Amino acid sequence: MTNSDQAAAVQIDCYPISMLPRLSRLFLDFADSREPLAPFYVSTPWSQPWKDAISVQDATHRAAVADLLREQNLSWGAGEETLASIERLRGGASALVTGQQVALFGGPLFTLLKASTIIQRARRANAVPIFWLATEDHDLAEADHIVLPARHALHTLRLDPEQPHAGRSAGNIPLGSGVCALLDRAAELIGGTPEFDLLVASYTPEATFASAFARLLAAIFREQGLVVLDAADRRAHALGGEVLRHAIEHAEDLEAALHARDRLLAERGYHSQVLVAPGSSLLFLIDEATGTRQPLRRKGNSWLAGKTAYSGDELLGILETAPERLSPNALLRPVFQDRLLPTAAYVGGPAEIAYFAQSQVLYQAILGRTTPVLPRLSATLIEPAIARVLAQHELSLADILQSHPDELSQRLGARAIPIEGKQQLAATGNALDGELESLVKWAQSLDPGLGRAAQVSASKMRYQMNRLRRLAANYQLQREASIRRHVDTIFFNLFPDRHPQERTIGGIAYLARYGASLIDTLIERAAQECPGHKAICL
């Protein structure tokens, strides 16, 4: 059976996206809407305004972007399919874009889900899939670790860089020799396959977080033509400089527009993802000497980066001579991205899509248009051993995501009670309910106070009956210890620490186990016939 045949044979169950925890109401309404949630969005998960879109860009600009992409992707070992994608972009094709902060060993599973989604969508739209590396983020704590599963535990591997890194852009930080010990540990957990060898080849001591992440993505999606972009490059900042200039010259107007959007979001019952404080800006300034990335704040006619003040003209001078020192914040970054690239649509996760509701006013003010945004594939991967345990206990993914392990164990313990015990508990409970109901009615007919006392007493008796049921279930759990082990194993694999698998467990763990067929499966299942959450049985 070929990889594509295996992908087609995979069992898929589809659930509402609302089943996942901790999603914003704004994203849930976006996901549920058949019409664009105006004025925040111009698209829905079902609409395809991007499919036939051709983003018009100056040929000289396209050529400069293509040259940059070709140089970067060649340095990361890109194959012929990726180079062909870049030439299609040079020739006038649009882009389907996604992105995220670079992370150790490729980050959580959603890295693969994002890349697979834009590849699938780009094929349907005859567009170019581009993965934008958010290398300028300076929160290393989000990037320096990965969670890998082994046996009955999750293992967090964390890299402590050898060089000082406080405040520096995470992407530029060298991995150092410490990465070798982490690779050895990862090999014990998931190693021994060609896919794991890709990790070893990418995460070398001399590599940075950015270059290692990019090289790994380029290798994993070599045959699919995925293009990777590190926009921290000086040339990228120069090509997108128009957006950075606008953020300097029209800072007050942009802040006012964002405050108005925040008020509108609040009126509609939503909350803003990014706090826009008075005097804040949309820019960071990278210190020339230390490399630290500091937010720029406006105070009167001055701009402050830490304790250093700059005039607007001085910032424009920096933009002219060292554009890489000016960096867009989370709200401006997608606008900067879509000035640089001919983006037909952006594919994001729930938090990113919520960000776009604020960024939309920046799109209109700076570019005069709004980029459609689409949800990435959201999925839980169910491995064969876990699927067998689920089937044994007649459980679905919904049972896991909507239950606590203790609650589910109780339920399965109750199911495991021998039939005669179940019958006895049910008969006793039904008889007790019937007798108590008659007794309460009789007491109420005599006196309201006596009736209330009877209700209280009846509630206590029902509580004790339910307690007896729980005790019986617990006894069964103790007799059949495998039930609790099964529950713990299911949660550990599918809903670790009550967080979605896709946001917790490293994607490389699944890639190392299932190889290239996993990528074919994810790309195939990124089609939007199910705009919710998919359970994919491997």
SS3 160: coil
374 inside domain: yes
429 inside domain: yes
| pTM for the whole structure | 0.87
Same domain as 204, residue 164: yes
SS3 9: helix
Task: Give the pLDDT confidence of 80-99 residue by residue, as tens digits.
Answer: 999 999 999 999 999 999 99
Rounded distance between C-alpha atoms, residue 247 and residue 298, angstroms: 12
Rounded distance between C-alpha atoms, residue 297 and residue 310, angstroms: 10
Amino acid at 381: L
What is the mean pLDDT of the segment spanning 232-257? 96
The DSSP element (H or E) to which 286 belongs, if any, is strand 280-286
Task: Give the pLDDT confidence of 287-344 residue by residue, as tens digits.
Answer: 888 888 899 999 988 999 988 999 999 999 999 999 999 999 999 999 999 999 999 9
Same domain as 395, residue 344: no
293 inside domain: no
The backbone region for 4, taken as left when phi is positive above 0, alpha when psi lies in -120 to 50, beta otherwise, is alpha
180 inside domain: yes
Same domain as 36, residue 91: yes
276 inside domain: no
Q: How many CB atoms lie within 10 A of CB 250?
A: 14
Task: Give the pLDDT confidence of 199-242 residue by residue, as tens digits.
Answer: 999 999 999 999 999 999 999 999 999 999 999 999 999 999 99
SS3 131: strand
Asked whether 396 and 390 are in contact (CB, 8 A), the reply is: yes
Same domain as 421, residue 461: yes
Q: How many CB atoms lie within 10 A of CB 206?
A: 11
299 inside domain: no
Q: How many structural domains does the chain have?
A: 2
Rounded distance between C-alpha atoms, residue 147 and residue 498, angstroms: 14
Same domain as 479, residue 373: no
| DSSP-assigned letter for residue 191 | -
Q: What is the pLDDT of residue 447?
A: 87
21 inside domain: yes
Same domain as 390, residue 372: no
Is the Cα dihedral 519, 520, 521, 524 positive or negative? positive
Is the Cα dihedral 520, 145, 272, 364 positive or negative? negative
Same domain as 349, residue 434: no
Same domain as 394, residue 362: no
Same domain as 393, residue 521: no
307 inside domain: no
Same domain as 152, residue 193: yes
Same domain as 419, residue 363: no
The DSSP element (H or E) to which 536 belongs, if any, is strand 533-537
Same domain as 472, residue 358: no
DSSP 408-448: HHHHHHHHHS-HHHHHHHHHHHHHHHHHHHHHHHHHHHH-H
Range of the domain at 419: 384-494
